[in-house]
Structure 1
Amino acid sequence: MASSHRSEMIVRQDSPANLEFPFETLSDRLTPPGQFYVRSHFPVPELSAADWRLDISGLTRQPLSLTLADLHAMVSHTVTVTLECAGNNRSFLTPKVDGVAWDLGAVSTAEWTGVPLSAVLERAGLQAGVQEVVLCGADRGCLYEPVKTPGIIAYERSVPLQKARSDVLLAYAMNGQPLTAQHGFPLRAIVPGWYGMASVKWLRGIHLTDTPFQGFFQTLDYSYWEQSGPLSPQMTPLSAMQVKAQIARPAAGETVAAGQPYSVTGAAWTGEAEITGVEVSTDGGLTWAEAELTDPPEAHVWRRWQYLWQAPNTPGQVTLLARATDSAGCTQPSEHAPGRGKYMITFPLPVTVLLE
């Protein structure tokens, strides 16, 4: 008989709050209210909708200071987007690394409503030469990992102008309700297809620059060594999510009836492409079989999948794996690349169950 599944959020850190979606409960396409994962670097800032302003500065033709009412008066858009923390699955790395020890649940999907960043940039007007758009959060503090910051810093990340104009959303609602404090009230960015660190919460400012942004969370953190051509590896900011499939059920350590059919289920996602296939291995990676995709393809949204497994008659331990392929032809690597450090963990994750 299958074990029961917990539905409460998994606490990975109390202060600041870092909470994980219990991935084994995956059922609906949208993550249930109150279960969307929470990633925080600093305490939640205390912000008032009445006093809050979004300041657009830098290489603009006319600097702007917008109220929440100003944004609500603009034409709204609603998009469904899967967000994943760049450190999701960190607990699977060997040897262990620093950082929040995420298991499977630093990933979730929601409907986001707000104003396209492109509309705000158009209102402000761009001067010639803009390269990057810096998203500035109101959360701030002092960090000690990966290196000690020289003082109080704010959470800030940039996106290239082309991405900013393409599909970045300034969201004030989540699943039809105003953002909660933990998810960025009153306004946050949603950067579809990119790891969650780019979707800055508690937005207070947007700054246009003609030079690459060199902030802490762009260079010293949320970056990795990228090998490109014959030159030495270069430190590169994290951006697009990498292709990945995860098994939701059976959960690791679950007891499964020997000799009986079992529906293995999960979800798969990628960055700027679409999931085209998922394969499941029930023998630790020796052989693979196609799973059925149960959601239609949609950019920037996970696709749920299922695989009907006929469990062996012989009791004992069995290790299951899943891997995905996307429309760009990318498939999950068999091992974690050392240059990725504690981020972009995309090798097939082992789920060991007990047959009885």
Structure 2
Amino acid sequence: MKNDKTSQNYTLNRRNFVTGIIPVIAGATIPSWASAKEIQQTREDNDFPGLITREKKPLNMEFPFPTLKNRITPNNQFFIRSHFNIPNIDATNWELEIGGNTNHVIKINLSELKKLPAKKVMATIECAGNGRANLAPKVKGLGWEQGGISNAEWTGVPLSVLLKKAGIKVGTVDIILEGNDEGMITEEPKSPGKIKFARSIPLNIAMQDHIIIAYEMNGKPLSAEHGFPARAIIPGWYGMASVKWLMKITASEKPFDGYWQTIEYAYWKRVEGLPTLTPVTTTLVKSEISRPVLFEAVPAGKPYQVRGAGWSGDSNLSKVEISTDKGNSWQPAKLIGPAIPFAWQLFEFEWVVPAKTGRYSLMARATDQNGKTQPMEHDLDRRTYMVNFISPIDVDVI
């Protein structure tokens, strides 16, 4: 059954980009493996004062995507997603409990967690609603434009290590990750009173060694906004799975059907033609142009370096293509740097700007190594999530 598609609204809120920026105190860090060029670029990026405000209570802040210049997002520019107020956690009293369908219930404090064998994982985290501002008519939810996404190197302990310590029993199917943030949802669909943020992942995913409980981000302890003292990192999945302010891990003998698993962060999947609500999981293939920005004035007849990034949750990219004629033809962009699993890859394309002045439309289209390509339109079955359709950038050649 073929779905009707939404019409798209490609308007970038330039006023928000210019005036919605507020300082963020947390400083950026430079990974030890960064090249001299990346280090210099990171220092230049730190001149930007902060993030774009999407909501103040709870705090939701967008990465200024047009400033994208290198692979690692500085800590002070990493987007912030909160469902409730940020909890005030005293690290000296914090404990993580692992239990449920296990041989023992164990509790581990931050000092003990840091003594376990650590693993570093680079992972791009994208909010499941990133790009929602491009849907028309206007839909409910935060109006993310391009920047509900960032990339960092995370340090932590594989979740499998903790699960093995607790001893997973036969019959476990889901691992529930529960955060310390809580509140009531007062708009429809309302929550059944006060609830915590919780999501689950299947046991077979949880046991993969790139799934970690992180306590550092780009070599620095997590800030309060990013989940201090510890959070889950689920590479390749949308950000709602990477639960922050982690307090409890539960092995479950049945699939988890919590509020954030079935009512929110769920989409319609067609099962034998019938729509069935299904949890949002793997990040879809996508690319975005960071420069030029919408309605940028571009000099006629001169080369212009088009820049951006592409990503896919379960595969590396095979290519990114650029169209400068509203999708009538496509040319290959250059992918920058090596492919790193679960991390975005930057691209560039030298556009020979026409001598004729006027309005032009640029598009980026990513294809991953599984052969999946960005669509031209949003599928209504995805509701307001997994927004990966091609979003044109209109510019004025002058």
Fold equivalence (TM over 0.5): yes
Residue in structure 2 matched with residue 170 of structure 1 by the alignment:
213
Contact 2:75 2:217 in 1 (8 A): no
Q: Does 1:209 align with 2:252?
A: yes
| SS of structure 2 residue aligned to 1:9 | strand
* Structure 1 ranges of 4+ moved more than 3 A: none
Contact 1:146 1:220 in 2 (8 A): no
5 Å matches for 1:164-203? 164-166=206-208, 167-203=210-246
The CA RMSD over aligned residues, in Å, is 1.2
| SS of structure 1 residue aligned to 2:356 | coil
Contact 1:172 1:178 in 2 (8 A): yes
Could you list the per-position Cα deviations for residues 186-218 of structure 1 after superposition, in whole angstroms to 9, with x for gaps in the alignment? Answer: 000000000000000000000000101010000
| SS of structure 2 residue aligned to 1:233 | strand
Question: How far is the alpha carbon of 1:146 from its aligned partner?
Answer: 4.4
- Of 80, 83, 103, 1:61 maps to 103
| Counterpart amino acid of residue 173 in structure 2 | Q
Q: Does 1:137 align with 2:183?
A: no
Could you list the per-position Cα deviations for residues 58-88 of structure 1 after superposition, in whole angstroms to 9, with x for gaps in the alignment? Answer: 0011110110111011001111100000000
Residues of 2 paired with 1:58 and 1:96: CA distance? Answer: 41
Question: How far is the alpha carbon of 1:234 from its aligned partner?
Answer: 1.2
Residues of 2 paired with 1:293 and 1:213: CA distance? Answer: 39
5 Å matches for 1:113-132? 113-132=155-174
Residues of 1 paired with 2:187 and 2:287: CA distance? Answer: 29
Contact 1:281 1:322 in 2 (8 A): yes
TM-score by length of 2: 0.87
Structure 1: gaps (5+ residues): none
Question: How far is the alpha carbon of 1:145 from its aligned partner?
Answer: 4.0
Residues of 1 paired with 2:212 and 2:285: CA distance? Answer: 22
Structure 2: gaps (5+ residues): 1-13, 19-47
Q: Does 1:333 align with 2:375?
A: yes
Residues of 1 paired with 2:238 and 2:254: CA distance? Answer: 22
Residues of 1 paired with 2:153 and 2:195: CA distance? Answer: 30
| Counterpart amino acid of residue 81 in structure 1 | A
Q: Does 1:153 align with 2:153?
A: no
| Counterpart amino acid of residue 19 in structure 1 | M
Contact 1:265 1:307 in 2 (8 A): yes
Could you list the per-position Cα deviations for residues 147-185 of structure 1 after superposition, in whole angstroms to 9, with x for gaps in the alignment? Answer: 111210000000000110012110000000000000000
Residues of 1 paired with 2:311 and 2:324: CA distance? Answer: 21
| Counterpart amino acid of residue 264 in structure 1 | V
Residue in structure 2 matched with residue 101 of structure 1 by the alignment:
143
| Counterpart amino acid of residue 77 in structure 2 | Q
- Of 233, 245, 256, 2:275 maps to 233
TM-score by length of 1: 0.97
Contact 1:274 1:300 in 2 (8 A): yes
Residues of 1 paired with 2:331 and 2:325: CA distance? Answer: 11
Identity across matched positions, percent: 45
Contact 2:54 2:61 in 1 (8 A): yes
| SS of structure 2 residue aligned to 1:207 | strand
Residues of 2 paired with 1:10 and 1:78: CA distance? Answer: 28
- Of 40, 45, 51, 1:9 maps to 51
- Of 235, 259, 273, 2:301 maps to 259
